[in-house]
Structure 1
Amino acid sequence: MAKVPARRIRLSYHWPEIQLNIWLIVVLAGSATCLGIFSWFMIIQSTMKLGTPWLFPFMVTSSSLAVLFIFVVLFLIAQRLLLPGILILGSFILFVLFLTGLIETSLQMYGVVGNVNSNCQNYVVKNKSTGNNLDTLGWLTQITICNCWKTAFAFELVNAIFYVWMMIMSWQVHRNYYH
């Protein structure tokens, strides 16, 4: 009897490259931005000797996990081992985390108790300060904080939407593989 060598067949999924790259860039930018903003908010709270709301460390952790997830995905892409199940599961977990952060951020920005947006409009935007003095420096810091809240809200929303998009795209890649 002749021995037939066993062949190892490496199965791979066909990922839409442009969509995957756009997703990676947008989610990495959004996660890194949220990580930076909420880290800075924690530093401000600590410097002012104020308590830190749970949202800040929660979003720092969620954003850090998202950045780590992106690097794992990039590593798996480089090894040609990216599986749809990994992206579906990771995207779902991060979607829940970012949706939770988005809800709390929106409550802080537009809710009855926090109402950061109204406070920014009433006490910062309407009281613009100019000149080379400490009042202007304080105003610039306050307007930056207000703009960071808006930016964090926007990127949390974008990331939540993009994680849903990735779950759908991963499911389509999985489905097309078996059809």
Structure 2
Amino acid sequence: MPRRPHTKHYQWPEIQLNIWIITVIAASAICLGIFAWFISVQNELRLGIPWILPYMLTISSLGLFFIIVVLVLAAQGFLLPGIILVGTFILFVLWLTGLIETSLQMYGVAANINDNCQIWVYDNRVGGNNLNTMAWLAQSNICNCWRTAFAFELVNTVFFLWMIVMAWKVHRDVHH
């Protein structure tokens, strides 16, 4: 009688895995929408598109694609820590790169979006039923979207790091 090969069973912490999946889906989808809208605004204004916009659009899409892969692998009982470690490490580096560039855009010397928003938008509130108010609302929305994108890039960067640690623990637990 042939022997069955011994298959390792990896025990993933379900609640943590589900929280991770939901958070990464939300953060990736929010960043995808924001950066797609930024590209649309740049095109409408006939301005050049800085590399960070398509870059973040791409890695947001990759984040969502990776979650689909994780869900498919989990459904088939084939969620291997090695696959997750490699995928999350790559995405961690990509998100960290985007976070660094976004922080340079938000708080850097050359393009200080945060200070510009404070000076030109938040400190110059406009009201009333007129074109100036509409322009102010659009500018305020752009500023808030930059802040939101930065926050969710930070969340995804931390959550990909968290998944690296979690996958390593799952891998280690099987070997001990």
Q: Does 1:151 align with 2:148?
A: yes
Residue of structure 2 equivalent to 1:18: 15
Question: 1:138, 1:5 → 2: CA distance?
Answer: 75
Residue of structure 2 equivalent to 1:165: 162
**Residue identity opposite 2:29 in structure 1:** A
Q: Please report how far the alpha carbon of residue 49 of structure 1 lies from its aligned counterpart in structure 2 after TM superposition.
A: 0.3
Q: Please report how far the alpha carbon of residue 12 of structure 1 lies from its aligned counterpart in structure 2 after TM superposition.
A: 2.1
The SS at the match of 1:62 is helix
Any unmatched runs of 5+ in structure 2? Answer: none
* The one of 78, 101, 117 aligned to 2:98: 101
Residue of structure 1 equivalent to 2:63: 66
Matches for 1:1-179 after TM superposition, within 5 Å = 4=1, 6-7=3-4, 10-179=7-176
Identity of aligned residues (%): 61
Question: 1:178, 1:102 → 2: CA distance?
Answer: 35
Question: 2:55, 2:18 → 1: CA distance?
Answer: 27
The SS at the match of 2:121 is helix
Is the Cα–Cα contact under 8 Å of residues 106 and 153 in structure 1 kept in the other structure? yes
Is the Cα–Cα contact under 8 Å of residues 8 and 174 in structure 2 kept in the other structure? no
Question: 1:80, 1:17 → 2: CA distance?
Answer: 13
Q: Please report how far the alpha carbon of residue 136 of structure 1 lies from its aligned counterpart in structure 2 after TM superposition.
A: 1.1
TM-score of the superposed pair, with normalisation by structure 1:
0.95
TM-score of the superposed pair, with normalisation by structure 2:
0.97
**Residue identity opposite 1:38 in structure 2:** F
Question: 1:103, 1:29 → 2: CA distance?
Answer: 20
Larger C-alpha radius of gyration, 1 or 2?
1
Any unmatched runs of 5+ in structure 1? Answer: none
Question: 2:90, 2:61 → 1: CA distance?
Answer: 13
Task: Count residues with an aligned counterpart.
Answer: 176
